[in-house]
Chains A and B, each alone.
Chain A
Amino acid sequence: LAKTTQPISMDSYEGQEVNITCSHNNIATNDYITWYQQFPSQGPRFIIQGYKTKVTNEVASLFIPADRKSSTLSLPRVSLSDTAVYYCLVGGMNTGFQKLVFGTGTRLLVSP
């Protein structure tokens, strides 16, 4: 499974847009990119998933360049409740039994 690299931490203020970039240089052709959010002592919550270009849902947007070696999670107008750890993962689509390999994630702190 491709290894991912993310910033260890980021700081922001309420109302700002936050972009978290993830590097995955060894991504395979059949790998999807998935982002999870995790609050302390809770299970990771699925945010968004994509394969190429741009994906948007009610919570976030995911930008994936043509070479797919990186991806950017964009959180529009963050609030205090967005303070959490964000994990970027890559994994194969229907290529077998997929295990998720988590890194240390990005700790986002949103201040008033």
Chain B
Amino acid sequence: DAGVTQSPTHLIKTRGQQVTLRCSPKSGHDTVSWYQQALGQGPQFIFQYYEEEERQRGNFPDRFSGHQFPNYSSELNVNALLLGDSALYLCASSSRDLVQETQYFGPGTRLLVL
């Protein structure tokens, strides 16, 4: 049973560029959430997708956008990168069919903006 997978594992970009991160949820999961984790901090919620729609959003600017595909995989896009966007980006998946909706995390994508 494959867990949550993310690609790429590492990425280096320069200020002003755009980046796309990808996530495949755990088998049987239909909901994908994205988090940003700065060094030394806890993960911060960006947004959540279910049935290909954004259902909840955290306190992140419109430069952060996402998409969910019919196979439940998801992308996180960040435009006009800033130095402060350097972080570990985490994807978590869960199932709306389960009462607890426990979220399981992928390994993350480390983004460095120069």
Contact = CB atoms under 8 A, between A and B. Distances in A.
Interface of A: 32, 34, 36, 41-46, 49, 87, 91, 93-94, 97-105
Contacts of A104: 41-42
A49 B100 contact: yes
B44 to A, nearest CB: 7
B74 interface: no
Contact of B106 (A43, A49, A87, A102): A43
Nearest to B44: A102
B101 A98 contact: yes
A41 B31 contact: no
A16 B103 CA distance: 29
A75 B100 CA distance: 23
Nearest to B96: A94
Given A43-B4, A43-B90, A94-B99, A100 B43 contact: yes
